[in-house]
């Protein structure tokens, strides 16, 4: 019998139990009440009682154990309606809780479903369907309309729009074309594309996300771990106290039935289910809600650090900026040359390099339909520039250090900016290109919103020079910054900040791994490296740092809800215990209170999702 059929059977039995419970109050069938109520208990609570009896024999004192003892004891002392009421109320609460948890799980489980089983691979010009897990870096794949991208890849043919909402939280389709890199898990909406895998299947985004989902469910927060340990010790103590409450007054001549009822009220009212269920659910709801905003947290144990953060520190390149450069200005220093000609030289030399500067110049040249020239004897010098020959002319493109190395000193007379990319022909300077880093959208507004939430300050930690760092810091709202930092320098800065604050750090590269590990809460951008991802506490899959204020708000709301649930549960139990001890509260009222408070705290927890 599958889960759905089993649930249907339980609902049918529950309805029959409820009908029998009502029938039991008819005076004409008074002689058959014992059988009617016994059937009612068995129909609705057979699984509960079986599990409870097993737990008693195994000395495993859980929620089922407490309820089973209460049901059997109520039946033995002749309180048949109360025994049935305990079962009906408890099973109703259990059903509502299951539905709430199922709703909470649906978003995270939906991510796991994006893992595809098969992929269309192209070998020797032929299409073949293979197990997606066999995909390796360099494989050529075909992604048809309606299919999920099986592996992180780069488009080599075609264009389409992608639904990336399950990965990034962004509902608007993303338009992609030849040359664009796309993540596994995206859904192809409009056109057939041919791609080259840039990672193995197991290293692709969706595989890592699924691993993180399972990791997140196992890494419990401090409060969760405390509640789990607490319930293991608390429940046996409650049972012992209930037994003593039933026996000791009788020894001193008190009425046995009255005190057994009080003991049952004590037993049921003390049940910790509202706390045990609602607190893990609150943390799990938090992970689900944050995942909808494009970030995955590696376990609920990190949520408290995120919620308590007072400072946010950020890397510059790849975090505050996109890591991409844009051509800002082209300056001509030779009257005999045009913008188009200087771009032809720059484009021709840079087109074979993967450096971010080269990528920016190539992208700009292709957008302006610049012609590419044949280059011979090309040589790239790391950190300096590129040298090559076009039509026997020696063409050089690079920074000022490159000119010094090549002993081209005329630049000193021309007041060329230090950050310029200079083009020379046969040692004559033709002109230079000014590039600008592309800052992610609305970074300034994001920092302002974080400060409104109580984040004391934002600080940028970068290995870039002071001039570039200062420009970016100003555009971000004159935030604090530290420049010219090596990885160990960033760690030292974080340690200083941590002395009086809880710190969030966001980075993306291998050089950020040490500082990500040292921060109270480390966030790596979704484009980050494997090493950085392993050092961080979360991955911002969407690369959208604008979502951070909402993410911090969700974490803080979660801690507030957890504390509310603990307070409400303890207060309600205290009230029912007092009423029970003075003889006002019957057993069914204790069950109703327990179930009601559990339902209330569960609903409070799933509010986090919204």
Spell out where 23-62 has E strands: none
Return the closest-CA partner of residue 94 out of 204, 14, 182, 33: 14
* CA dihedral sign of residues 5, 8, 12, 17: positive
**Contact partners, residue 211, CB within 8 Å, separation at least 6:** none
User: CA–CA separation, 223 vs 230, rounded Å?
Assistant: 10
Please, how many CA atoms are within 13 Å of residue 518, restricted to the half-sphere of its CB? Answer: 19
Enter the tokens of residue 33: 């009440």
HSE on the CB side for 187, CA within 13 Å?
Answer: 15
Q: Is 315 a catalytic residue?
A: yes
Task: Name the one residue in this structure whose structure tokens are 């609460």.
Answer: 93
Dihedral sign for Cα 293, 297, 303, 306, please.
negative
Phi-psi region of 388 (alpha: psi -120 to 50; beta: other; left: phi over 0): beta
User: Which of 139, 152, 305, 315 is labelled catalytic?
Assistant: 315
Which residues, at least 6 apart from 209, have a Cβ–Cβ distance to it below 8 Å? 111, 114, 167, 185, 296, 539, 541
CA-CA distance, 241 to 264, in Å (whole number)?
Answer: 11
Distance between CA atoms of residues 473 and 492, nearest Å = 20
Using CA atoms in the order 406, 407, 408, 414, what is the torsion angle rounded to 10 degrees?
Answer: 120
According to DSSP, residue 202 is labeled: G
Neighbours of 39 (CB within 10 A): 17
In angstroms, rounded to a whole number, what is the distance separating the alpha carbons of residues 288 and 109?
9
- Cβ neighbours of residue 267 under 8 Å, at least 6 residues apart? 66, 69, 70, 238, 239, 242
**Comparing C-alpha atoms, which of 95, 53, 55, 93 is closest to residue 71?**
53
- 325: tokens are 């450069």
With a CB cutoff of 8 Å and minimum separation 6, the contacts of 336 are none
Q: In what order do the strands lie in the sheet with 376-381?
A: 321-332, 428-439, 421-425, 393-398, 385-390, 376-381
- Residue 478 Ramachandran class (φ > 0 left, ψ -120 to 50 alpha, else beta): left
Q: CA 336, 337, 339: angle at the middle one, nearest 5?
A: 150
What residues does 312 pair with on adjacent strands? 458, 504
In DSSP terms, 197 is beta-bridged to 153
- Do 548 and 531 meet the contact criterion of CB atoms below 8 Å apart? no
Q: Which residues contact 415 (CB under 8 A, 6 or more apart)?
A: none
- How many residues comprise the chain? 610
Q: Dihedrals φ, ψ of 18, to 5°?
A: -65, -40
Query: In the block, which residue shows the tokens 């409450």?
Result: 245
DSSP state of 148: B
Residues that are catalytic:
315
């Amino acid at each position: 019998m599958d889960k759905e059929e089993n649930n249907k059977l339980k609902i049918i039995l529950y309805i029959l139990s409820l009908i029998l419970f009502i029938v039991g109050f008819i005076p004409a069938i008074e002689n058959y009440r014992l059988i009617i109520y016994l059937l009612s208990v068995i129909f609705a609570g057979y699984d509960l009682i079986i599990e409870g009896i097993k737990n008693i024999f195994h000395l495993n004192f859980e929620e089922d154990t407490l309820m089973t003892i209460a049901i059997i004891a109520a039946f033995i002392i002749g309180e048949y309606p109360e025994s049935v009421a305990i079962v009906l109320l408890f099973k109703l609460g259990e059903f509502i809780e299951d539905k709430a948890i199922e709703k909470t799980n649906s978003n995270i489980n939906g991510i796991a479903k994006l893992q595809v089983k098969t992929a269309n691979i192209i070998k020797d010009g032929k299409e073949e369907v293979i197990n997606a897990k066999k995909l390796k870096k360099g494989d050529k794949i075909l992604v048809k309309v309606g299919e999920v991208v099986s592996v992180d890849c780069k488009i080599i043919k075609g264009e389409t729009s992608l639904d990336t909402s399950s990965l990034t939280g962004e509902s608007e389709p993303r338009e992609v074309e030849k040359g664009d890199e796309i993540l596994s898990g995206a859904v192809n909406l409009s056109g057939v594309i041919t791609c080259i895998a840039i990672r193995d299947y197991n290293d692709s985004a969706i595989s890592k996300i699924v691993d993180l989902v399972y990791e997140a469910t196992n890494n419990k927060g401090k409060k969760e771990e405390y509640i789990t340990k607490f319930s293991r010790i608390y429940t046996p103590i409650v049972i012992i106290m209930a037994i003593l409450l039933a026996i000791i007054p009788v020894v001193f001549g008190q009425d046995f039935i009255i005190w057994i009822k009080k003991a049952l009220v004590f037993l049921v009212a003390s049940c910790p289910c509202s706390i045990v269920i609602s607190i893990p659910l609150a943390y799990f709801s938090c992970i689900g809600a944050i995942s909808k905003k494009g970030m995955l947290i590696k376990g609920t144990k990190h949520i408290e650090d995120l919620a308590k953060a007072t400072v946010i520190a950020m890397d510059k390149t790849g975090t505050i900026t996109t890591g991409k450069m844009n051509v800002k200005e082209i300056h001509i220093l030779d009257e005999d040359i045009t913008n188009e000609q200087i771009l032809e030289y720059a484009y021709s030399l840079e087109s074979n390099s993967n450096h971010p500067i080269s990528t920016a110049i190539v992208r700009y040249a292709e957008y302006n339909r610049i012609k590419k020239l044949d280059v011979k004897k090309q040589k790239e010098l790391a950190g300096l520039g590129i040298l090559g020959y076009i039509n026997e002319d020696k063409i050089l493109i690079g920074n000022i250090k490159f000119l010094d190395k090549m002993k081209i000193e005329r630049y000193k007379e021309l007041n060329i900016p230090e950050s310029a990319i200079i083009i020379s022909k046969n040692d004559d300077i033709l002109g230079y290109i000014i590039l600008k880093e592309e800052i992610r959208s609305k970074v300034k507004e994001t920092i302002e919103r974080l400060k409104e939430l109580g984040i004391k300050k934002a600080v940028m930690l970068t290995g870039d020079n002071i001039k570039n760092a200062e420009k970016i810091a100003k555009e971000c709202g004159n935030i604090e910054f530290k420049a010219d930092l090596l990885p160990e320098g960033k760690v030292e800065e974080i340690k200083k900040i941590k002395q009086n604050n809880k710190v969030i750090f966001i980075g993306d590269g291998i050089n950020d791994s040490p500082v990500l590990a040292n921060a109270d809460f480390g966030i790596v951008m979704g484009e980050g490296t494997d090493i950085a991802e392993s050092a961080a506490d979360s991955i911002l899959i969407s690369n959208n740092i604008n979502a951070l204020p909402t993410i911090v708000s969700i974490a803080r709301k979660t801690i507030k809800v957890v504390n509310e649930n603990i307070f409400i549960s303890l207060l309600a139990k205290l009230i029912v215990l007092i009423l029970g001890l003075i003889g006002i509260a019957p057993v069914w009222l204790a069950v109703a209170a327990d179930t009601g408070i559990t339902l209330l705290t569960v609903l409070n927890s799933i509010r986090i999702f919204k």
